[in-house]
Amino acid sequence: MKRFFRAFLMGASTAVAATSVFAAAAAPSADAALIQRGEYLARAGDCMACHTAKGGKPFAGGVPLATPIGTVYSTNITPDAKTGIGDYTYDDFDRALRHGVAKAGYTLYPAMPYPSYAKVRPDDVKALYAYFMHGVAPVDAPAKQNGIPWPLSMRWPLGIWRSVFAPAVATDVAASPADDAMLARGRYLVEGLGHCGACHTARGAMLQEKALTDGDGPAFLNGGTVEQWFANDLRSDDAAGLGAWSTADIVEFLKSGRNAHSAAFGGMREVVADSTQYLSDGDLTAIATYLKSLAPAKPGTPALAYSNATADLLRAGHPPTNGARLFLDNCAACHRSDGNGYAAVFPSLALSPTVNAADPVSLIHLVLDGSTMPGTASAPTQFTMPGFAQRLSDEQVAEVVTFIRSAWGNRAPSVSADDVRKVRGSVSAAR
């Protein structure tokens, strides 16, 4: 997920680590239940996404993140006194997590989603602290040298950013009694630890999320573009949002990485694999209930309706366009001439929010690069779509994507070879 934004964090904690040359102050012993709850909350916060390297020790950092200003490495957040956060007091921990200020006083890059974590209540921060101090094995892993040159490495502008965009932190005050408990729990997880908006809310000119809560306006979770993926609209819009998904569909998706309609792709694969598959059915239902409560950003858009016309033409051997012919030759084996795919195996293209998103970047990216579903405890099969970058030209990808976006009742604008060229360029550059 959001490597680009994650990348903004780093250096501050590195500096922090360098100051802690003494052994960790003995943290008060925490009871097992608290540690366990902290572990669960760390899953909900998906801390490992940025802080655990592939094949590396948990939370030892070192994940390389390419940014426009250079490569940075995530930091060691194990309780190692020398190289981790072993000498962090609860207040230090809280300040970094929710206020975006490192122990040494630096402001963190907002890749650390502290504007979201600000919503986490102190009670849960205590559990997280207990977990990171007592439930995680200390790892001696010095921070890697970031590759950001001066003057970009200066951090004082981040402090201004923080004072402008970071919200006040939450207190332990319970949700309003008028609020539905399920809805409140869902909102708490989505806005807070889940930091869904980090990807699914569009960013402003200063890279700030345009809305941190539903109250901030319809930009909240209305979709955002991250690393050549469009993180889908999670509001109840009918065509491009979750309007057609039931609460159960959303729960199944977050638990297994797929459902009858679709499958996780892009950064969401890691989110499911590392975070949401571990959440309780109750919490997943709360998240789904909350997402379903978000009004459409564009109310009044008519819902999509399946049309047999495309499938009839394809079955009769009359593909209407070159794109349709390319679809038959390359895509129909799995996604079928009716565009419905097979439930929880090959995603449906008909009426799919991903297909119908105004921004076609995800669809183009998937056709070029393919995708592998995350393996989860409840659905270990990692169905893989091959990439077609070697097989199809920019024009052909544009034709087939345009066909898909107008077939079976889909209703999304056409795509040009230029659109494809841009995605192909950045995707192959990132490889």
Neighbours of 180 (CB within 10 A): 15
Could you give phi then psi for residue 392, rounded to 5 degrees?
Answer: -115, 140
Q: Supply the DSSP symbol for 337.
A: T
Interface with other proteins, residue 327, by CB under 8 A = no
Minimum gap (Å) between residue 402 Cβ and other proteins: 22
Instruction: Give the x-and-dash track for 328-347 against other proteins (CB under 8 A).
Output: --x--xx-------xxxxx-
Tell me the residue type at 171: T
Tell me the residue type at 32: A
Six token digits for residue 367 = 């056709």
Minimum gap (Å) between residue 345 Cβ and other proteins: 4
Any bridge partners for residue 107, and if so which? 101
Instruction: Give the number of residues in contact with other proteins, rule: CB under 8 A.
Output: 19
Residues 27-46 contacting other proteins, CB under 8 A: none
Report helix angle 281-293 to 247-256, nearest 10: 130
| Closest-CA residue to 234 (of 204, 167, 189) | 189
Q: Which stretch binds other proteins (CB under 8 A): 43-51, 89-97, 122-130, 374-382?
A: 374-382
Interface with other proteins, residue 386, by CB under 8 A = yes
Minimum gap (Å) between residue 374 Cβ and other proteins: 11
Evaluate whether 250 touches 256 at the Cβ level (below 8 Å): no
Minimum gap (Å) between residue 274 Cβ and other proteins: 14
| Closest-CA residue to 292 (of 348, 221, 230, 219) | 221
Minimum CB distance to other proteins smaller for 130 or for 373: 373
Minimum gap (Å) between residue 346 Cβ and other proteins: 7
Evaluate whether 297 touches 237 at the Cβ level (below 8 Å): yes
Binding test (CB under 8 A) with other proteins, winner from 379, 392, 397, 404? 379
| Closest-CA residue to 401 (of 419, 382, 381, 375) | 419
Minimum gap (Å) between residue 343 Cβ and other proteins: 6
Cα–Cα–Cα angle for 375, 135, 119, rounded to 5 degrees: 80
Minimum gap (Å) between residue 44 Cβ and other proteins: 23
Minimum CB distance to other proteins smaller for 377 or for 430: 377
Minimum CB distance to other proteins smaller for 229 or for 346: 346
Interface with other proteins, residue 393, by CB under 8 A = no
Binding test (CB under 8 A) with other proteins, winner from 213, 307, 372, 414? 372
Residues 43-72 contacting other proteins, CB under 8 A: none
Q: How many residues does the chain have?
A: 431
Any bridge partners for residue 384, and if so which? 372
Binding test (CB under 8 A) with other proteins, winner from 145, 381, 393, 428? 381
Minimum CB distance to other proteins smaller for 258 or for 424: 258
Minimum CB distance to other proteins smaller for 26 or for 333: 333
Evaluate whether 308 touches 314 at the Cβ level (below 8 Å): no
Q: Would you tell me which residues interact with other proteins (CB under 8 A)?
A: 330, 333-334, 342-346, 372, 375, 377-384, 386
